[in-house]
Amino acid sequence: MDTELLERTASELVAPGKGILAADESNGTMSKRLAAVGVDPSSETRRSYRANLLSTDGYESAVGGVILFDETIRQSMDDGTPIAEALSSRGIHPGIKVDTGAKELANHPGEKITEGLDGLRERCVEYFKMGARFAKWRAVIRIDEGMPSAACVSTNAHALARYAAICQEQGLVPIIEPEVLMDGTHQAQRCYDVTAEVLGATFAACAEQGIHIPGTLLKPNMIFAGNDCPDQASREEVARLTVDCLTNHVPHDLPGIVFLSGGQSDEDATAHLNLMNQMDVNHPWQLSYSYGRALQAHALRTWAEGGADSAAASRSMFAHRASMNSLARSGDWSLDLEA
């Protein structure tokens, strides 16, 4: 394990003002999003959209890394430059999604286990040679009556730790993503309790597997009430509960926390991050972002309109959202800037 490389990469991914673009949608998911905006989905349209987005001027000031899917890391920009090479040339670390998806957890209906450990070492070797310097693995935890079960929490925690160990062995910074879903009627305190349990189990498993925490990043959910709960927390409450939960359950030698947007609106995702960074608290880690739809939603709809003007406008919208979240990294975002 090259701990110096891991620590350097992790710190560069969450350098002041920077976050991560999650462009790692699977082929199926990306095809659904293209179809939803009236674009015929194919390998070429997926490439074309992402190549346009990644050619945006100046976004490297707000983005330290881009998570890619297996298809995307093998594709090229419009000028023929491999996408990973194009990112690296701008000082942006290419990353790669390495799990193979969440599947039904045996004997636990309604719960999931993320798979992909088989052959992971060999895939990491190949991705590192292709230019990747970090990776991502997502576990999904559902809150419901009797859920999550102890089996769901423990099996996903173990898988995240094993994934992290293999990545670090091959020089890739692992992003550990145990996502507690927003679906449900539960109150925010229930989300807090489950998130605390999941984080505790995950980092205990990481300790057992010898994970080098200073060469690791965490991609957690924020603390929300369920989508169908009538008692929704305010933005300030979300920020406070989230920071309290992380402070009590995340190792303080972790270099950075890169939040997922998890179905939030673009503005909410930025506002919550901004409030956390405005707190009169000396956070032990960088509080940053690893947003997908919260950075891309408007850009995708605009690009789908077609034509050179739409392509340029799409890049402009992506640049705006990236700059808004970059400001939120230091608590300097305000609603007035959205105009």
Is 219 one of the annotated active-site residues of the chain?
yes
Burial of 16-36, coded b for 16+ CB within 10 Å and e otherwise, reads ebbbbbbbbbeeeebbebbee
Considering only CA atoms, which of 267, 272, 274 is closest in space to residue 331? 274
Q: Are 161 and 210 in contact (CB under 8 A)?
A: no
Q: Are 112 and 105 in contact (CB under 8 A)?
A: yes
Considering only CA atoms, which of 328, 179, 247, 255 is closest in space to residue 13? 255
Query: What is the identity of the amino acid at 140?
Result: V
Task: Provide, for the chain, the percentages of residues in helix, strand and coil under a 3-state DSSP scheme, each rounded to the nearest 5.
Answer: 50, 15, 35
Look-up of token digits 């430059």 = 81
What is the DSSP track for 108-127?
-TT-EEE---TTHHHHHHHH
C-alpha atoms less than 13 angstroms from C-alpha of 128 in its C-beta half-sphere:
18
How far is Cα 336 from Cα 261, in angstroms, rounded to an integer?
21
How far is Cα 267 from Cα 235, in angstroms, rounded to an integer?
11
- Which DSSP helix (H) or strand (E) runs through 102? strand 102-104
DSSP 8-state class, residue 147: B
Q: Are 96 and 135 in contact (CB under 8 A)?
A: yes
How far is Cα 290 from Cα 278, in angstroms, rounded to an integer?
19
How far is Cα 257 from Cα 121, in angstroms, rounded to an integer?
25
For the annotated catalytic residues, the residue numbers are: 219
